[in-house]
A = this chain, B = another copy of it.
Amino acid sequence: MVTIDFAKGDGIVPVIIQDYDTNDVLMLAYMNQEAWDKTLSTGKVHYYSRSRNRLWLKGETSGHTQDVKAVYIDCDTDTILIKIHQHGGAACHEGYRSCFFRERNGGDNWRVIGERVFDPETVYGKN
């Protein structure tokens, strides 16, 4: 019997999102019990937004939803890993395929290694 340990993180757990086809890590976000239940019942990934303090269907603004393909739980049952199909090709709100589009290049130097799939201004508007 596996019970997700939401208590350890004050009601939320981190969720790693991985591309089902390429195994690229696309993003990390958080779920509460409601987001978890909604994700399982709909097959579309839902998160809990810590900054907006509410349930969040990924893609609700952009249309770039995430279809659940496989779900994993870690040894301590306090982190979830979900493999997904990303509609629109980009998980990052900045238009990159992955939120991890910058690689450390020694010292304080980072370089952009990701590819931009869409222009955020077009998808989200200018505000």
Contacts and interface: CB of A to CB of B under 8 A. Distances in A.
A24 B22 CA distance: 10
B25 A25 contact: yes
A1 B108 contact: yes
For this chain, the copies found in one complex come to: 2
Interface of A: 1-2, 14, 16, 18, 22-25, 27-28, 70-76, 79, 81, 92-94, 96, 99-104, 108, 110, 113
A74 B100 contact: yes
A27 B92 contact: no
A113 B73 CA distance: 11
Which 4 pairs between the two chains have the least Cβ-Cβ distance? Answer: A23-B23, A72-B100, A71-B104, A74-B99
